[in-house]
Structure 1
Amino acid sequence: MATFTKYPLKFLRLSLIHENCWSRYYEVPEIANILNLTPYPERNILKVSLLMSEKGYRDIMNLKSRGKVKDIFNIYKWRNRFYVDLVRDYDNSIYSIINRNNGILISTLKYDGKEIWNLLVYEYKVNRLIKEFQEFAEIVKVNIEDDIPTENLTSRELKVLTTALDLGYFDYPRKIKSKELSEILGISEPTFVFHLRNAERKIVSNFIKKLGKNMLSEP
């Protein structure tokens, strides 16, 4: 019979400033949408696949000429967006630290000189992971949660929700409006509101169901 481990998982949401990364110098007031990260440790290469506006694309090209981006080996224009494959060093990247500690990356984005990372990690590795992050970056904010908020959420809903949370949409007073968030995400305001409301509805519904079960189980 198979034996299964029962190491608890934690959900980490980190906002950090990584001085040795291109994201620190990305000056366009919009999110750089990270579609995929592909590591090649044996060549010390991390391929970063991005989708961005023309302004973002021009800023990335400027960063390459300034030596902030190691290389760009593919650019494809699709409608009014640009798909860009860029290369940076794998060693000492945030992604290499996550891999080294067996973390599971859920999503990441770059905005206003900051990197926002959402990941799952074994509880016993949380402190070590954060310590390694601190050796290479300034941690602006970190949230450690027991619940995994991806339950029943689509990737788009999760991205809309975490972006709204990280940029202060749920703060009082609000630090950013839905119109501004939709522009940052590159979607229409009605689309943003649609995905946000769906995510909120699913989370509240799951919470109420769990609360009801707990109340029924009480003696």
Structure 2
Amino acid sequence: MYSRYPLKLVTVTLEHDRCWTSFVKEGQIRVLSHVNNGTYVRDVVVGDIEAVRTVTRLDPSTRVKEVVNLRRYGDVVVADILLSYDNSTVALLQKNGVALLEPTVVEGTESWNFLAYEYQLRKILEELERAASVVRVSMTDYVPQREVVLSDDEVRALEGAISMGYFEVPRRHRTWEVSRKLGMSQSTFTLHLRRAQRKLATKFLNSLRRSSST
């Protein structure tokens, strides 16, 4: 039997005074994973170098117990952070039975994304308001999107075009040069490239429409 209650895609932006998130003023951190273990929360985050550096300098009064590991990838850093909480936002949301989505975005505020039924929201928001300052709430009907899957040839065409500067202005290499490098005919290369572009562009536009609707 199908439920008559549609799922809502909800984004709640919070301000937590003296929490580590309130100190991230420069750059952005995206929390890719929350692991709640009662008193402690383990967050795996990725962010700008300066933003992550800010977190590594914080003392335990900001909930940062330990920075377990840091790994730099170009101009971004992945950090594994252990946080000490009595009643964390992630624990509050999980207690209310919502489907927590990643990432949580930190920019001096915390933007949490989750799926919930509309009748759950009043209680959730009341509890969040007791724990933090709720800056903004957006809600829209959740509409699932099919995952974009590129074929091996579409990936090859796209990677070849990018690596050979096909999309640059002016182009570093022409169509026949890229296709010859890939061992494809011009028509085959163009076909695979256009299919890849269409799939990715459609996914991107759908994401923009969902963002606009919220």
Aligning the two structures, in what range does the TM-score lie when normalised by the shorter sequence? 0.5 to 0.7
Deviation at 1:66, TM superposition (A): 6.8
Among residues 186, 201, 205, which one is paired with 1:200 in the alignment?
Answer: 205
Q: What pairs with 1:1-219 in structure 2 (closer than 5 Å)? A: 6-28=4-26, 30-41=27-38, 44-64=39-59, 67-107=62-102, 108-111=104-107, 113-145=108-140, 147-152=141-146, 198-201=203-206
Long gaps (5+) in structure 2: 149-198, 210-214
CA distance 1:151–1:46, shift in 2 (3 Å): same
**Aligned partners of 2:18 and 2:61 also within 8 Å:** no
Q: Is the 8 A contact 2:20 2:62 kept in 1?
A: no
Q: CA deviation at 1:195?
A: 6.8
Using structure 2 for the length normalisation, give the TM-score: 0.64
Shift of 1:84: 0.7
Alpha-carbon distance, 1:23 to partner: 0.3
Find the counterpart in structure 2 of residue 187 from structure 1: none
In the TM superposition, residue 93 of structure 1 has moved relative to its aligned partner by 1.4
Aligned residues: 158
| TM-score normalised per structure 1 | 0.62
Rg larger in structure: 2
Could you tell me how far apart the structure 2 residues matched to 1:71 and 1:16 are? 23
Partner of 1:173: none
CA contact (8 A) 2:6 2:142 kept: no
CA distance in 1, matches of 2:146, 2:87: 33
Change (3 A) 1:56 1:202: closer
Whether the aligned pair in 2 keeps the contact of 1:11 and 1:148 (CA below 8 Å) is yes
Percent identity, please.
22
> What's the Cα RMSD here?
2.8
Q: Which runs of 5+ in 1 are unaligned?
A: 155-193, 205-219
